[in-house]
Structure 1
Amino acid sequence: MRIAKSALIDPDKNGLYGMAAVALSFFVFAYSSKFGQISILAYYAVWFPLVIVDYRRVLGNYTRYIWIFAFGILAVLSSFWSDAMSTTMRASIQYLTHIICALIAMRVISITTLTRGALIGIIVVLLYSLLFGIYLSDALDGTFSFVGAFSSKNQLGFYASLGVIFAACSVLVLRQRDIIWLGIAGVAGLMSAYCLLASQSATSVITTAAIVALIIGFLPVGMLSPANRKMIFFAVVGLGGLVVVASLQFGLLDAVLGVFGKDSTLTGRTYLWQQGIEAAKASPILGVGYQGFWVAGFFDAERLWNDFFITTRSGFHFHNTYIETVVENGFVGMLFLGIVLYGTLFGHLRSILMRKSDPQGLVLLALCALFVVRSFVEIDIIFAYQIGSFLLYYAAGKLTLPQRAPAGAFSGMAMKPLAGR
């Protein structure tokens, strides 16, 4: 039996395959450490073979993606000056091929298919954690919390955050009204909310609330003219800045953190950041090599593992994307990564402010905003086989394609703009 090419690579016709591929990818990102190489091979198997189907359509013109590939290419090149050359070479090749998979997905998966596949994948991931999950003590704050089938409550909280956000986007942004998908969004949202609370991850709870508020706040934007949208946006940004300053000045931040058992030092993170800044001074331009710091036998890594009681000698980092990047790939690496992260964020923001209707832009803006907020306290986008890096490069690649407005786009941004005064 022959399968039509469109059923695999046409974003308007490959919904079934696309949802399955996205859901499987999410599960692999969550539990590849448990299921090993076979799960990674399954991930590659759903994306790379599409190149054979129609390489021109699936790959596109990669010369347009240089800014997207820059950090991944630097990671590979860093193998030549890394003291852990084999570790850096293997990890960087994995990261570069991971970027390619995300860009393949970007060209063949619509935002509606991505959202539906994400909801299914997150339900499966969280269900597995609820069935086989455990409680662990957090090395940073000493709390005892539910981590699911992950090794950290922050990882569980991250997936739960994405579940809430994708559920909100499905209902509010993409206006999915099919009873089946409403039910799936509801289940994903409820499971995610429960896991979010059970994980006791302050980072995840606070950022999720902020991103959902961002989504709701942008819903009526399409009713305004572009000039009015910009005016309101900058007014809100200014107000938000005042709120942040007031929070720091009057102790509101400490009060919020206190609810989660945290303090202004983020329970050990500030010490870890200080150590990362000191480590970065050794090679500030190009770093010590991609994933070349946290290597068994290296003195500084061993010392910090001992300080934080990390007996496994793995799965630890500086809990700050920028510090981690500067240590491993220097300020050059941070520049390249910043271009991808912030270029994608502002690219989708500009699209929302300038276009009459851009539901895809709002979904991807919400995801990028989540990564930006979390980047100051977590590491979500600089490793291979992670949901954060996959979604970031998917969102970055979408900026290189002509605008597509999926069916079922939310009506708020599709309404006729009000005339500017």
Structure 2
Amino acid sequence: MNMVKPIQVNETETLGFANLYRTGRQAPVWEQALVTIWFFVTYLPLDGVTPIRYLLVLYFLGITAMYYRDIVPVVLKSWPLFLLPIFGFLSFMWSDYPSDAIRAGVLMLLTPLTIVVIGARLNTRQALRCLMFAGMITTIFAIPTISTFSQGGPYGMGAKNLFAIQMLFAMLLCLTTALNQKEFLWVRLLALPFVPVCFVFQYLAHSATSLVFAVVGIVGLLGVRYFWISLGQIRHLRTSLLMATVGIALTIAIVFLSMPENTMMNDFLGLLGKDGTFSGRSAIWRQAELLSHEYPIAGVGLEGFWQYDVGAAQTINENDFKPFGTKLTFHNSFWEVRVHLGYVGYAMFLLILGWCLYRTVLTWFRAPTMDSSALLITAVIIFTSTFTESYLWGTFNTLVNLFYFGAITTLGAGERKFEGRVPITVRETT
């Protein structure tokens, strides 16, 4: 509540009005359970759950129709998320595989719609709790495959990075819940043991990059919980400290970059077990660059490249020792967009990135809670991963869910709404 126009009644009492706000509509338990199931079937793509995915998509469409007065305004406010999917759907007109392009375009459209529905129906804490439960269930499902974590575990051969980053987000959400004093005690106690378990599983995946993200995430959450939130009691101290930190970081970066024969980047990659080619990704990026020059404006269309009869795609498979017809990725979300949807789609993708990061950071500045801090940290991790992975180009996956939800959480059920003014009396005590 924000007090306005106080009136001094006597030496110890002040009469005034306060602005009353309501935050966070509560969704029923059954709805949270359905959202948890949805997050789980998109967290871990098990065999035989496709019918469940279709049924849940129908559920989201039904909820949209039933509560259109609540959901449609959030959709309109989230318009940047839908431009790229719409353009991608229209690419069936120039894609060499129109039926595949239509299917991929529909999935691209449904991906932000499901997140908007969840954001319109569940508040921030409830949605993150559901996603955390999905990560917990995935962790339990992964136990029988513990001997194959370094190959991908439950996600299959060659998917160790995906498994590691999924365990990373499960760990960060569990840590956020364990540190959140506003969460139910039984939920905090349930989440606590999963923090070290998920970290160990991530370590066993032998993904050095995700381990760096894990350290940064843990330090960030602990710093917010025990340091940053406390600084809010001193006016303008947070802003001053943040500006000073950014200034120091930029100064250090300028000094290091201006040093002759700087090998720090190669040294850092060496510590992570990488090299200047990023495990061979640079060769694939060169192929993507050449292809993007051939179709610069609108690209080849959705599903227009990774096909069995596309020579360039099969050449990449052969050079990467992959079976003929394998559908790879460019391991870079930017090149995925450039190749498939050209500069037009690229501009729309940059709009999505900028809009999501801006709204997530703005939400955190306005209310630096544990929930908003978790969304900010995960958004930074996801954005960083776009340079070496194609997760944000995908549909119905955990990274897209988190990245989009961080931007729209305060547009729906988590929105801070003005209810009116109420009279209050403030009494001073010695």
- TM-score grouping bracket, smaller chain normalisation: 0.7 to 0.9
**Aligned match of 1:188:** 194
Given that 1:71 and 1:333 are in contact with CA atoms closer than 8 Å, whether structure 2 keeps it comes out as: yes
Cα distance 1:238–1:374, how it changes in 2: closer, same or farther (>3 A)?
A: farther
Please state if 1:374 is matched with 2:385: yes
**Aligned match of 1:331:** 343
Shift of 1:388: 1.5
**Aligned match of 2:138:** 125
Given that 1:120 and 1:184 are in contact with CA atoms closer than 8 Å, whether structure 2 keeps it comes out as: no
1:121-200 equivalence runs, <5 A? 121-132=134-145, 135=148, 145-151=150-156, 152-172=159-179, 174-176=180-182, 178-200=184-206
1:180 and 1:125 map into 2 onto residues whose CA distance is 20
Cα distance 1:252–1:187, how it changes in 2: closer, same or farther (>3 A)?
A: farther
**Aligned match of 2:27:** 14
Higher strand fraction (1 or 2): 2
**Aligned match of 1:236:** 245
Q: Find the residue that maps to 2:312 and give its secondary structure.
A: helix
1:272-351 equivalence runs, <5 A? 272-311=284-323, 313-351=325-363
2:125 is matched with which residue: 91, 112, 116?
Answer: 112
**Aligned match of 1:415:** none
Cα distance 1:356–1:115, how it changes in 2: closer, same or farther (>3 A)?
A: closer
Q: How many residues align?
A: 387
2:52 is matched with which residue: 26, 39, 51?
Answer: 39
Q: Which has the larger radius of gyration?
A: 2
Question: Which 5+ residue runs of structure 2 have no aligned equivalent?
Answer: 1-22, 418-430
* 1:357-400 Cα deviation digits (max 9, x unpaired): 55543232222112111111111222222111222222232253
Question: Which 5+ residue runs of structure 1 have no aligned equivalent?
Answer: 1-9, 137-144, 407-421
1:205 is matched with which residue: 192, 211, 218?
Answer: 211
Cα distance 1:246–1:339, how it changes in 2: closer, same or farther (>3 A)?
A: same
Q: Find the residue that maps to 1:318 and give its secondary structure.
A: coil
TM-score (norm 1): 0.82
Cα distance 1:201–1:315, how it changes in 2: closer, same or farther (>3 A)?
A: farther
Given that 1:75 and 1:290 are in contact with CA atoms closer than 8 Å, whether structure 2 keeps it comes out as: yes
Percent identical among aligned pairs is 19
Given that 2:57 and 2:114 are in contact with CA atoms closer than 8 Å, whether structure 1 keeps it comes out as: yes
2:367 and 2:358 map into 1 onto residues whose CA distance is 17
Q: Find the residue that maps to 1:295 and give its secondary structure.
A: coil
Shift of 1:133: 5.8
* 1:208-255 Cα deviation digits (max 9, x unpaired): 322333334444445346744333223323434455667776545444
Opposite residue 310 of structure 1, the aligned amino acid is K
Cα distance 1:213–1:345, how it changes in 2: closer, same or farther (>3 A)?
A: farther
Shift of 1:79: 1.4
Shift of 1:182: 1.9
1:57 and 1:374 map into 2 onto residues whose CA distance is 33
Q: Which has the higher contact order (CA 8 A, sep 6+)?
A: 2
Cα distance 1:244–1:317, how it changes in 2: closer, same or farther (>3 A)?
A: farther
* 1:289-339 Cα deviation digits (max 9, x unpaired): 123211221111111111112227345211111111111111221221222
TM-score (norm 2): 0.81
Q: Report the more deviating stretch, 155-164 or 290-299.
A: 290-299
Q: Report the more deviating stretch, 385-394 or 213-222.
A: 213-222
Tell me the C-alpha RMSD between the 2 structures: 2.8
